[in-house]
Amino acid sequence: MPIDAVNGVTTNAMTNAATSVSGTTSDGGDGFAASLGSAVDGLQQLQSESKTLALKAVTGNLDDIHDATIASTRAQVTLELVAAVRNKGVDAFNEIMRMQA
């Protein structure tokens, strides 16, 4: 594959990323809010599934304990990710508020 073909792919990817970012900022951040909202909804679903499987494991109605362990770990990792994004958002907000006009 010639190097020019790779450069063309990289340029197209960067143009698409810039278009999506500019589209997000032009609509007042609704895209980011929607993404964050869907992440929180997904987290709630993962936590609900984890609780259901844990209850089945405790009552003895679960055939494979690995399912409960995997669901619990997925919920934990997702919670940590959402918390990290929230913390970074708060840090960015605080930094913007410290800027002088």
Q: pLDDT class for 29, splitting at 50, 70, 90?
A: confident
Model confidence pLDDT, tens digit, residues 45-67: 999 999 999 999 999 999 999 99
Does the structure show a pLDDT above 60 at 9?
no
If 0-12 CB within 10 Å is exposed, 13-18 middle and 19+ buried, where does residue 50 land? Answer: buried
Residue 13's Cβ-side half-sphere holds a number of Cα atoms within 13 Å equal to: 6
Q: pLDDT class for 27, splitting at 50, 70, 90?
A: low
Enumerate the domain spans of the chain.
29-98
How confident is the model at residue 6, as a pLDDT?
42
Task: Measure CA 6 to chain center.
Answer: 29
Query: Whole-model pTM?
Result: 0.63
